[in-house]
Amino acid sequence: MDTPKRKLSDAYALTSPSDSRQFYGAWADSYDSEFAAGEGYTLPESVARAFADAGGQGPILDVGAGTGLCGVALRRLGLEPVDATDISPAMLGRALRKDAYRDVIEADLTEGIPVPRGVYRGVVSSGTFTHGHLGPEVLPALLRTAAPGAQFALSVNARFFETAGFDQAFERLQNGQWIKDFSLEDVPIYGPAARGPHRNDTAFIALFHKV
């Protein structure tokens, strides 16, 4: 029996961490061919490039790493070492096969990340902050993993940015002097070959340093 093809709209409709773990566990084997290649998913490369252009350096934590597309892009740019964290062990298994990561960490970001404080000089995320996934409530957990001065490059779906309260969250972090040098870069999520209903969607890449 053929495995039913998973749709981005299904991913956007997820409502809980357990739903995400189950959904992406079932999608792990076909994610790269069915979604990333099939839809011309360019966001991981854009996040890696933005991080590099901002002067980012390792060690780096790739948040919501999935099958490791952003890690591969970082490696191409000569940035290492990189650790991956994701809620799906199946996705992390696929990421490990790409030989782009030093280590992988299974974690539900709503419960924190089981690493020592301040161990990373860079934090990146591609595609994790979007509909049906994570909102700004996990930003403090990410900041705890980072050393002072660490460079962040976090993509946030543009339609999700304001509705989920990212604008207010980043303002609070700046006013509280948790982050500095904040800027937003607007980038397409997909390349010109994309044909799906979300083909024209964009994301903001939030660039900042931890104070």
Q: What's the average model confidence in pLDDT over 166-192?
A: 95
Sorted by where each begins, the domain ranges of the chain are: 8-210
pTM: 0.86
Q: DSSP string spanning 29-97?
A: TTIIIIIIITTTB-HHHHHHHHHHHTT--SSEEEET-TTTHHHHHHHHTT---EEEEES-HHHHHHHHH
**pLDDT (tens digit per residue) in 55-67:** 999 999 999 999 8
Give the architecture (CATH level 2) of 8-210.
Answer: 3-Layer(aba) Sandwich (3.40)
Residue 28: its pLDDT value, please?
59
Residue 153 confidence class, pLDDT cut points 50, 70, 90: very high
Assess contact for 208 and 152: CB atoms under 8 A. yes
**pLDDT (tens digit per residue) in 34-56:** 666 667 789 999 999 999 999 99
